[in-house]
Amino acid sequence: MSSPLTFQPVLDRIAAEIEQTPGRGRPADYIPALAACDPRSFGMAVAELDGTVYGVGDWRQPFSTQSITKVFTLALDLAHEADELWEHVGREPSGNPFNSLVQLEYENGIPRNPFINAGALVVTDRLHSQTGDAAGTLLDFLRAESGNEHLAINEDVAASESAHGDRNAALGHFMASYGNIGNPVPVLLDAYFRQCSVEASCADLALATGFLARHGIRADGSRLLTMSQAKEVNAVMLTCGTYDAAGEFAYRVGLPGKSGVGGGIIAVVPGRCTVCVWSPGLDGHGNSVAGVAALDRFTTITGLSVF
């Protein structure tokens, strides 16, 4: 990859290959507002460190970011309270589904990592305590980093998630019983559901993730995270970012990544670029079938990997 101009033909090649892929999985039907998405939709964008963006397919189409936002709330909370966060959430892969209650009981209400739902609830709770508005803080950050002031929360999706959010409510109340939640659980859940309901495109998210490729430096040149903190976030993405399929994702793709059940996946090539891919058909783990395949092809064709 001697020239940034080589990214566009790579994306075009990947899109052509994905178009020939017969099985694309199924959208997240347990969130009614997402169930109607076309599993054959596909978009992919690459953003370089200077903000230059390349894209293919539906790369400008906004979609529901869902768990991808967990990366940004983690970074924002680390910027506020640094290592104190790690007293309340772990950094190990869970090996269980993202909404599992099982581990919490025998680990005394401390979630295994920030990217399973229980861990993300803790991070959102702490960011809400730090800022007074976790979802608003996240949205402001994404708007600033992407350069898209029109990014917004889809209130219909938030309401849909709230109406079907019993498992997340159970996680919140269970952790509150251990003293690991500071806000009233209904307040936390509202912030969390709204956070997950931000809509953004592949271009927006590739740009917004750039601070992790720049070792903690934001788009305006200011520092959000220390180099060590940026390394920590990338490391947890690599080991925990794709639910209980993180090992397979590391094996196939070889990059820090974070998926969401809206069908998006972000990935980081530290010091070089960021990637976002979207296709709403999911596998049994909740990861985009075409998205994982596209990122696999991206690292294979370009040789860009952390390994």
Active site residues: 67, 70, 192, 243, 261
CA distances to 39, 171, 190 from 168, rounded to whole Å, are 26, 5, 11
Amino acid at 229: Q
* Distance from C-alpha of 128 to C-alpha of 134, rounded to nearest angstrom: 4
* Distance from C-alpha of 117 to C-alpha of 240, rounded to nearest angstrom: 12
Tokens standing for 144?
């600033």
The answer to whether the CB of 113 falls within 8 A of the CB of 90 is yes
* Distance from C-alpha of 190 to C-alpha of 187, rounded to nearest angstrom: 5
The answer to whether the CB of 46 falls within 8 A of the CB of 274 is yes
Closest CA to 292 of 258, 231, 272, 269: 258
* Distance from C-alpha of 108 to C-alpha of 239, rounded to nearest angstrom: 22
Closest CA to 167 of 120, 199, 202: 120
The radius of gyration of the chain from alpha carbons, rounded to an integer in Å, stands at 18
What is the side-by-side strand order in the sheet with 198-200?
A: 63-64, 198-200, 152-153
Tokens standing for 46?
């690459």
* Distance from C-alpha of 231 to C-alpha of 40, rounded to nearest angstrom: 34
